[in-house]
Amino acid sequence: MNLLANANMMAEWISVGDRLPEAHPGPVVPMSDNVLVFTRDRKISIERFFSSPGKWSGGYYEIGDFVSHWMPLPEPPNVPKQTGVE
């Protein structure tokens, strides 16, 4: 597997000043799928964006205040399902 060739297929970080994740109807408020977020103190976590209150999951991060960038999660690996495993 050529890692350099696959590196070009990886997503780029998106500034929250340029665009926010697309929100879909949720049980209470519109929310995004899980995305990777990069914080101003250089931490990476997986969060959801809630468009109605304008907050990331848990309400810990405000738009542009603590989260500076985000990117979609990569597709999961194609792993065959094992029989007898739930």
Asked if pLDDT for residue 4 goes beyond 50, the answer is no
Place of tokens 């101003």: 40
Split at pLDDT 50, 70, 90, the class of 65 is low
Coil vs helix vs strand at 39: strand
- Is the Cβ–Cβ distance between 16 and 69 less than 8 Å? yes
Residue 62: the pLDDT is: 55
Predicted TM-score (pTM) of the model is: 0.69
Encoded tokens for 62: 């405000």
Report the relative pairing of strands 35-39 and 44-47 from DSSP bridges: antiparallel
- Is the Cβ–Cβ distance between 16 and 64 less than 8 Å? yes
| CA pair distance 40, 31, nearest whole angstrom | 22
Asked if pLDDT for residue 83 goes beyond 70, the answer is yes
